[in-house]
Amino acid sequence: MMNYVAFRLAEFMLDASGPMARGDGRPVSPEIQPSAYLPQLFPNRIEMRVNGGFLLALAVAGLVWWLLYKTTLGYEIRTVGQNPRAARYAGMNVARTIVVTMALSGALAGLSAATDILGVLHFMPNAFFSGYGFDAIALALLGKSHPLGVVLASLLFGALRAGAQNMQGIAQVPVDLTSIVQGLIIVFIAAPEIIRALYRLRHPVKGEELVMARGWGGSR
């Protein structure tokens, strides 16, 4: 619900008569100073818009891993995410953890928008590309909610989206094919959990898997 507050605030700030309007009738902000541009990693390749925000994203992913798996707050976040009732029974403040998690996720989303502005657009538009939020949910699912997995999934989806434009322009392949591939990847990743939920199957126990593997060859 807070997203709509941010949307309407951006519309007010970037309106033709708003305090952040450029002044030429377009709902965008004035361009930032060149000294604020993020450095390009491949300055001689105009078609490659990879900038310093990519390295910043990798550093932030490492910081998130450290926060989730090496700190008390991260343990509380993971516990509340997996089972809020158990976390409350263990004495954790579930409401506070949820608010802190929302604040951290909002800060990360704002950082990603800042890198897009400073590294690619060089001005603030009224609205970014639609679907980023849904892509983030899909990436979290594909990466098993682990920072390393999310990074790898992001590279996969980014390569698919970047290559889709070239495929449509060079090979005349519809860009919608990329969305189909992404959807199929998510379906196959989520299929085991969906089947378990529909048929109420329990997760396999690691101990049982080890016994089955050891007894397969008849050596037990």
Residue 214 has pLDDT above 50, yes or no: no
Are 79 and 120 members of one domain?
A: yes
pLDDT at 212: 41
Q: Which of 64, 99, 128 is the last residue of a domain?
A: 128
Residue 146 has pLDDT above 70, yes or no: yes
Arithmetic mean of pLDDT, 123-144: 81
Residue 72 lies in a domain: yes
Residue 32 has pLDDT above 90, yes or no: yes
Enter the DSSP assignment of 167: I
Share of the chain above pLDDT 90, in %: 40
Are 198 and 137 members of one domain?
A: yes
Residue 69 has pLDDT above 70, yes or no: yes
Arithmetic mean of pLDDT, 100-122: 92
pLDDT at 176: 85
CA of 125: how far to CAs of 13, 21, 122, 159, 202, in Å?
Answer: 11, 10, 9, 24, 48
Contact 22, 15 (CB under 8 A): no
Are 106 and 91 members of one domain?
A: yes
The mean predicted confidence, pLDDT, of the chain is 84
Domains contained in the chain, number = 2
Domain ranges, residue 200: 132-220
Angle at CA 104, nearest 5°, toward 109 and 78?
Answer: 120
Q: Which of 128, 153, 181 is the last residue of a domain?
A: 128
pLDDT at 187: 83
- Read off the pTM: 0.80
> Which residue type is seen at 25?
G
pLDDT band at 164 (very low <50, low <70, confident <90, very high): confident
In 62-131, the DSSP E strands lie at: none
Are 115 and 136 members of one domain?
A: no
Residue 190 has pLDDT above 90, yes or no: no
Q: Which of 95, 128, 161 is the last residue of a domain?
A: 128
pLDDT at 115: 93
pLDDT at 205: 58
pLDDT band at 56 (very low <50, low <70, confident <90, very high): very high
Are 75 and 93 members of one domain?
A: yes
Residue 216 has pLDDT above 60, yes or no: no
Q: Which residues contact 92 (CB under 8 A, 6 or more apart)?
A: 76, 79, 80
Q: CA–CA separation, 45 vs 38, rounded Å?
A: 15
Q: CA–CA separation, 103 vs 1, rounded Å?
A: 14
pLDDT at 47: 67
Which position has the token pair 């593997």? 213
pLDDT band at 204 (very low <50, low <70, confident <90, very high): low
pLDDT at 194: 75
